Amino acid sequence: MGRRFGLRFQAMNLPQVSLQTFRRLTLLGVVLLGLIVVTGGVVRLTSSGLGCPTWPQCADGSLVPHGRYAVHGAVEFGNRLVSAAVGVLMLVLPLASLRLSPRRRDLTLLSLGLWVGFLGQAVLGGLTVLFKLNPGLVAGHFLLSMVLLLDVVVLDVRTARLLHPSMRPASPRWLAWLARFLALVAAVVLVLGTIATGSGPHSGDSSDVVRFGFNVRDVAQVHADAAMLLVGLVAAMAFAVRAQDVPGQARRESIWLVVTVVGQAGIGFAQYFLGVPVGLVGLHVAGATLLWIFSLRLMLALSAPRVVTVSLPGPAAQTGAPSPHREPASSPV
């Protein structure tokens, strides 16, 4: 209560934030939270964890990597830069949400969720190092990032809808449920992927790191089976969104999803048969992150309630700004 008051009090001294500016921040949040998964993965895969042996300086009293720290140091330093940018943004977003006019409770809660999640990631990251890259903690670190991405994608899509309220025709209910099921299967594939990693050579950067103890081939097989179910669902979805009256946004997300799932499955099989080379595993992590973002965006595009744009007397009408008005999903517009 006291902290909440304190945050509000601090926010009161800040300038008002327009919805457009807030949207730019949420979009930046999606990009940075996606990027940090990839840079964190590259640090793990290239054994660059101690590329910068000191903090906040990289090494030898220098802020930037050089000399014998050059390559691993550059990887670790790049990751530190992205982490710092994420840290600043996670603090700015809740404050900015409190300076929005009119203020929206859901946007504030989602922004605060990001901040809490970021603190959780900092603690989990510390524990992962403390417990010598325990695979459960490595997997938890990755999966918490996926939860943060869920939060920031919902925040971004909700903000975008406030800016463009008339972009929201309703979709058939069964299709919205299919999209939710698709996102659930994508989440299961991600979890199984982290178990495959935790059982294989890339869980940590040395052979001393303990593994989950499963047979990596068996886990990779189950992971690939679930991925094939996902490929089937994405294909079915691509046909369904073309056959039904759905928002153009949903069709666009579905195309991106087809591209990423096909690429991701290709990389998955290639890395499996080539003995998990580091470069392909890094691409697989990046592909998994993109695939998760597009699954969520598709789900949200298909779950949007029907909205019509009406002109109301008052300030909105005077400025010509559209005023959103929700209607039941079944009503003809």
Q: Which residues pair with 309 in a beta bridge?
A: 324
Interface with ligand HEM (CB under 6 A), residue from 149, 196, 241, 304:
196
Interface region with ligand HEM, contact rule CB under 6 A, candidates 25-33, 167-175, 188-196, 311-319: 188-196
CA-nearest of 35, 5, 16, 7 to 282 is 35
Among 134, 171, 264, 303, binds ligand HEM (CB under 6 A): 264
Residue 192 Cβ vs ligand HEM, minimum distance, rounded to whole Å: 8
Output the CA angle 73-78-83, nearest 5 degrees.
125
Kindly state whether residue 41 participates in binding ligand HEM, applying the rule CB under 6 A. Answer: yes
Size of the site for ligand HEM (CB under 6 A): 29
Rounded to a whole number of angstroms, the minimum distance from the CB of residue 295 to ligand HEM is 9
Torsion of CA 71, 72, 78, 81, to 10 degrees: -130
Interactions with ligand HEM, residue window 267-296 (CB under 6 A): 268-269, 271-272, 276, 281, 284-285, 288, 291
Part of the chain binding ligand HEM (CB under 6 A), chosen from 99-107, 128-136, 185-193, 302-310: 185-193
Minimal distance in Å, beta carbon 120 to ligand HEM? Answer: 18
Longest dimension (CA), the chain: 70
- Which residue matches tokens 């199984």? 192
Closer residue to ligand HEM (CB): 89 or 288: 288
Question: Looking at this protein, which amino acid is placed at residue 195?
Answer: I
Is 194 an interacting residue with respect to ligand HEM (CB under 6 A)? yes
Per CB under 6 A, 121 contacts ligand HEM: no
Residues β-bridged to residue 323: 310
Q: How far is the CB of 138 from ligand HEM (least distance, A)?
A: 7
Angle between helices 278-303 and 19-45 (to 10 degrees): 150
Q: Which is nearer to ligand HEM, 169 or 193 (CB)?
A: 193
Q: How far is the CB of 80 from ligand HEM (least distance, A)?
A: 20
Chain centre distance of CA 315: 37
Task: Select 264 or 303, whichever has its Cβ closest to ligand HEM.
Answer: 264
Closest CB 126 distance from ligand HEM, rounded Å:
19
Comparison of 98 and 150: residue with beta carbon closer to ligand HEM: 150
Looking only at residues 215 through 244 of this chain, which bind ligand HEM when binding is defined by CB under 6 A? 220, 223-224, 227, 230
Which residues within the stretch 56-115 sit at the binding site for ligand HEM (CB under 6 A)? none
Q: Report the nearest approach of ligand HEM to the CB of residue 35 (Å).
A: 15
Q: Does 134 bind ligand HEM (CB under 6 A)?
A: no
Q: How far apart are CA 230 and CA 276, in angstroms?
A: 22
Least distance from ligand HEM to the Cβ atom of residue 249, Å: 22
- Shortest Å distance, C-beta 92 to ligand HEM: 29
For binding to ligand HEM (CB under 6 A), which residues are involved?
41, 142, 189-190, 193-194, 196-197, 200-202, 220, 223-224, 227, 230, 261, 264-265, 268-269, 271-272, 276, 281, 284-285, 288, 291
